[in-house]
A and B are shown apart, each in its own frame.
Chain A
Amino acid sequence: MHEDREHVGATEQTVTESKALRTTRGTTSIAGFLERYGILVAWLVVIVVFSILAPTTFPTVANFDTIASTQAVLLIMTLGLLLPLAAGEFDLSVGATMGFAPIVVGYLNVFHHWPIVPAVAVALLAGIGFGAFNALLIVRLGVPSLIATLGSGTLLTGLGYGLSNSETIGGISNGLINFATWPIGGLPLSFLYAIAITVLIWYVLEHTPFGRYLFFVGEGREVARLAGLPVNPLRTISLISGAFVVTVAGVLQAGTVGAADPTVGVSYLLPTFAGAFLGATAIRPGRFNAWGSLIAVYFLVTGITGLELLGYSGWVQQIFYGGVLIIAVALGRITQNRRAVQ
């Protein structure tokens, strides 16, 4: 029935394809470079612009040091989020998951005088357990991940308020603070952990069959299933390991601040998604990737720090993150559409 149309379609396709081939050959180098390293260039532009606008405060060692160190938590969260995103699952509970870990540490370490190591261990286990709970809802019961994690994240935030009596728990052990903030060559340990985890996630996503499988599960679930991949276990592992990495970020947050604030987690949700999606437009455009996320997170933080130094405080942050998330996703969509036309 459709034969006639398809034959025509096939010839059209080859014609457009050879056209596309000719055009891409010529422009590949410049367009390809800009596509892959666009935000790196944008980042440098932002640095130059702020250095001109705020010559005394912005281009200083102290400022770059702050930028590098304070956002290690955000970077690690973003890296953790990449795992479920790669497998096609949206984890909206990342903010709550990160925010819950300091509460557990504070609750056990401060309220119940546990030593810091078992307190951290319990926090990490709680993160894994929470990831498993999300997996149960999403993979086993088939609740869409967006809804499941919206609910479970809110639930976890509430639990955090309960454990902390809705107050900041201060006085977390110095051991954890040193573990997170001890300076090595001028940079705090948490920054080095973030770089190490970037390398780890990059390795897992790009250089192991597991990472490749996650992308197939995310982009072509039926293809993955027919290739005999264990689709549901892969989705489960992505959710649990993602929650674990995000919990590690939470533990470092407790160490960086030295206290547990039950309100802090939710404010990290949007920046995390902005970092992941903006990161997916760079280095390996169209795919969630670790180095892209690193650049994206630092691009975002540099922009906000600069704006704050110019005197725009508070509200600017939300406008910036929200705007960037929308632009990043729209950019990705445009690239995709252009490819579809090709």
Chain B
Amino acid sequence: MEKEEAITEPAISLVNVSKTFAGVRVLHDVSFDVLPGEIHGLVGQNGSGKSTLIKILSGFHEPDRGSELLVRGKPVPLPMTPGLTHRYGFAFVHQDLGLVPGLTVLENLRVGRYEPATGWRIRWGGEREEARVALGRIGIEIPQDARVGELQPVQRAIVAVARAMHDIAEHEYGLLVLDEPTAYLPRDAVQVLFDTIRRVAEAGVSVLFVSHRLDEVRSLTDRVTVIRDGRVAATVRTADTDEDQLISLMLGRALGNVYPEEHSQPADVGFGVLGLTGSLAQDIGFEVRRGEVLGLTGLIGMGQEEVPYLLMGASRASAGAIRIGGQALSATEITPAAAKRHGMALLPADRQGASGVGAFTVKENVSLPVLREFSPGGRIRHRRERSAVDGLLQEYQVRPPERERRLATLSGGNQQKALLAKWLQRRPEVLLLHEPTQGVDIGARAEIFDHIRRVSESGSCIVIVSNEYEDLAHICHRVLIFRDGRVVNTLTGEALSKDAIVAHSYRS
């Protein structure tokens, strides 16, 4: 798949693209080219600036002054707008695909593009023909009348690509941006999508492929640009590189030896999981000692995100057993109420949707799990509730410590501290946390760590699921790396560092 770079004019060139948010520069003079018909990979750690770059291309963000974007060597006015992306043949497929599950393939392909006949009637015959052309363009057979929600995940992804190709079809050249399209696909289906993408590229369209999976980047792309801390670390030919080099470029330093060492400690196991299986997670098993903080991580969509919800009974496991304080529970039958009774608590990542109710007061949110204790005889003793909540807001340094404020009016970090108080007041045996530091400022982050550490030292078992590698390295005793729904590595002791987590997460 080698290209004659010397004689091919780039399809798209980014020249010194920068972006500053509130005085913080997140992109520094990013420059690289994408050639016609090239599949160009874009990789980098979380927060490196990849998504900001994509959002500049789609017109969501306006780049700083001095940034340039050339299409076929001619400058494009910035910022981009939906009209401009359309005119230049830029099309985007995001991780969530943006399809309507309840509508058919035909409707999803044609919505917004209907060509009305007299009386604003949709000419279904003509639409059907257009859709057939769209699917034929990428050489795939999918029944037009199937509902998208009933398709297999990979078919859905292909429909999204077919729809994006609509915007490119009328152009001689075009740019298809794929932003982590494979994150939620089963592994065996990815090749089907890749065949589609290759066919698109062979037709002369340039593809910018954003992915965390270095194995995919290596098997699909012609060249790769690595972004680190908002700068281009390097643009390399895929054939000339390997995963270790890409990881080093992402980290900005050479990889040391990151082999995990065996670690044995007196086994006072307070929490055990065996054979836990959900929709992504496969046969997960681990044990947590009392006082231990265990981290679960991996790239997005590897199954670790599902684990706390399966354990808490918030979503249904198809198999698995849980052992807590000497009692065995079936993971397929557990409910949140039963999990709570056995001393488990879950702090979900969705702070306003699953963790707390933003429209209700801090007091109401914090006291919810223990309200009964303030209500002998079925009557809430408001004074007791108030003083208990006031005490907790002090203890957990929630600012401002005003219990009658609506939860949503607190900053992200203070909401999280209040919600942590909500669960920690019960002294749970097992505390499950999902992305506890997401959207939390540095100061609150440190306070949250202190609270987690304090609970673990009092003998609880803590499980943190997060993609914040630095935080995990900082607070966890042990970190399990997930890949394709399974635990593929355990990092502990000396071997546990941010770099090691990154390396093991990205390495296939």
Chain A interface size, as a band, is: 35 or more
Q: Which residues of A1-53 have CB atoms within 8 Å of chain B's CB atoms?
A: 1-14, 17, 20-21
CB neighbours of A8 from chain B (8 A): 21-22, 24
Q: Which of B22, B47, B346 contacts A3 (CB 8 A)?
A: B47
In whole angstroms, how far apart are the Cα atoms of A222 and B368 in the complex?
A: 13
In whole angstroms, how far apart are the Cα atoms of A3 and B49 in the complex?
A: 9
The answer to whether A227 and B336 have CB atoms under 8 Å apart is yes
CB neighbours of B52 from chain A (8 A): 4-5
Q: Which residues of A294-342 have CB atoms within 8 Å of chain B's CB atoms?
A: 336, 339-340, 342
0/1 string, A219-237, CB within 8 A of B gives 1: 1101111111110000000
- A216 at the binding interface (Cβ < 8 Å): yes
The answer to whether B340 and A223 have CB atoms under 8 Å apart is no
Closest beta carbon of chain B to A23's beta carbon, Å? 12
In whole angstroms, how far apart are the Cα atoms of A225 and B46 in the complex?
A: 32
The answer to whether A223 and B354 have CB atoms under 8 Å apart is yes
In whole angstroms, how far apart are the Cα atoms of A8 and B336 in the complex?
A: 34
The answer to whether B411 and A339 have CB atoms under 8 Å apart is no
In whole angstroms, how far apart are the Cα atoms of A10 and B415 in the complex?
A: 11
CB neighbours of A336 from chain B (8 A): 359
With both beta carbons as reference points, the residue of chain B lying nearest to A226 in the complex is identified as: B336
A-B contact count (CB 8 A): 121
CB neighbours of A286 from chain B (8 A): 359
- B380 at the binding interface (Cβ < 8 Å): yes
* Residue picked from A10, A224, A342, most chain B C-beta under 10 Å: A10
CB neighbours of A111 from chain B (8 A): none
With both beta carbons as reference points, the residue of chain B lying nearest to A2 in the complex is identified as: B51
With A11-B441, A216-B357, A222-B353 as known contacts, state yes or no: A228 contacts B380, CB within 8 Å: no
Closest beta carbon of chain A to B431's beta carbon, Å? 13
Q: Which residues of B285-325 have CB atoms within 8 Å of chain A's CB atoms?
A: 300, 312, 314
The answer to whether A212 and B22 have CB atoms under 8 Å apart is no
The answer to whether A227 and B369 have CB atoms under 8 Å apart is yes
Q: Which of B336, B348, B360, B438 contacts A215 (CB 8 A)?
A: B360
Q: Of B96-104, B161-169, B386-394, B402-410, which binds chain A?
A: B402-410
- B371 at the binding interface (Cβ < 8 Å): yes
In whole angstroms, how far apart are the Cα atoms of A222 and B354 in the complex?
A: 5
The answer to whether A4 and B380 have CB atoms under 8 Å apart is no
CB neighbours of A228 from chain B (8 A): 336-337, 339-341, 369
The answer to whether B22 and A11 have CB atoms under 8 Å apart is yes
- A208 at the binding interface (Cβ < 8 Å): yes
User: Which DSSP category, helix, strand, loop or mixed, fits chain A's interface?
Assistant: helix
With A1-B47, A4-B26 as known contacts, state yes or no: A226 contacts B439, CB within 8 Å: no
The answer to whether A6 and B439 have CB atoms under 8 Å apart is yes
Closest beta carbon of chain B to A3's beta carbon, Å? 3
CB neighbours of B369 from chain A (8 A): 227-228
The answer to whether B360 and A216 have CB atoms under 8 Å apart is yes
In whole angstroms, how far apart are the Cα atoms of A2 and B48 in the complex?
A: 9
CB neighbours of A3 from chain B (8 A): 46-47
The answer to whether B356 and A207 have CB atoms under 8 Å apart is no
The answer to whether A10 and B440 have CB atoms under 8 Å apart is yes
Closest beta carbon of chain B to A216's beta carbon, Å? 6
- A142 at the binding interface (Cβ < 8 Å): no
In whole angstroms, how far apart are the Cα atoms of A146 and B408 in the complex?
A: 29
New A-B pairs, 15, CB < 8 Å, besides A10-B411, A14-B411, A21-B400: A10-B413, A10-B439, A13-B411, A17-B409, A209-B380, A212-B368, A213-B371, A216-B368, A223-B353, A223-B355, A225-B314, A226-B336, A226-B355, A339-B359, A339-B406
Q: List 20 A-B contacts (CB under 8 A).
A: A1-B300, A3-B46, A4-B24, A4-B26, A7-B441, A10-B412, A10-B441, A11-B22, A12-B22, A14-B441, A17-B411, A212-B380, A220-B360, A222-B350, A222-B354, A226-B336, A227-B336, A227-B368, A228-B340, A339-B406
Q: Which residues of B contact A (CB under 8 A)?
A: 21-22, 24, 26, 46-47, 49-52, 300, 312, 314, 336-337, 339-341, 346, 348, 350, 353-357, 359-360, 364, 368-369, 371-372, 375, 378-380, 382, 400, 406, 408-413, 438-441
